[in-house]
Amino acid sequence: MLNKYARAFFTRVLTPFAALLIRLGVSPDAVTLVGTGGVVAGALIFYPQGEFFWGTVVITLFVFSDLVDGNMARQLGRSSRWGAFLDSTLDRVADSAIFGGLALWYAGGGNDLVLCAIAIFCLASGQVVSYTKARGEAIGLPVDVNGLVERAERLVISLVACGLSGLHAFGVPGVEILLPIALWIVALGSIVTLGQRVVTVRRESAEADAVATQGGNGA
């Protein structure tokens, strides 16, 4: 849901920065790789230590590369299948690092195996939610559905909660509860989104099969 509005807004905001990188001779693929590397480093260095505030600051600085690289490609007129593939693949890597870092914290210093399991579930369910759309499109279906908790929602909910929870280290009381709440919201929202996509693919495939059968009978 956030994809439609937030992406358009930040694309406009980041257009001048994308143009500057183009003038400096930076390629969209390089931005994709550096951005993913920054997110992975921020998540796997800071989160397992419980440094949620600074980890989120680092991740946020790099996560916008997902918008900058596409903006650069459009300005250059170089939108390609390879660029789309690389971007989508590295998005999965970045998401895995974020929830993997949280799982490592709860398995270690956080000492909460239930929340460790929830973080792992968020990691896995995010991959499956993305796969359902990609697989549906691969078999020729539009998968025309706006899921309840898509990638943008997962990132915003998780990163905002992580950043605010990290303020506990600066003496802000009570904020540490926000991250567990966010993980549960993402987990439950991912289940709903997966159901929405599966139902949509089932309906669209039945409609496509019915059209194909009618066409065959008519022939």
For the beta carbon of residue 27, count every other beta carbon within 10 angstroms.
Answer: 16
Which two tokens mark 196? 């929405």
DSSP conformation letters of 16-46:
HHHHHHHHTT--HHHHHHHHHHHHHHHHHHH
Q: Provide the total of helices (H) and of strands (E) in the chain, helices listed first.
A: 8, 0
* 124 in Cβ contact with 65 (< 8 Å): no
Residues labelled catalytic: 91
Sign of CA dihedral 36, 37, 43, 46: negative
How many CB atoms within 10 Å of residue 65? 25
Task: Specify whether the CB–CB gap between 149 and 184 falls below 8 A.
Answer: no
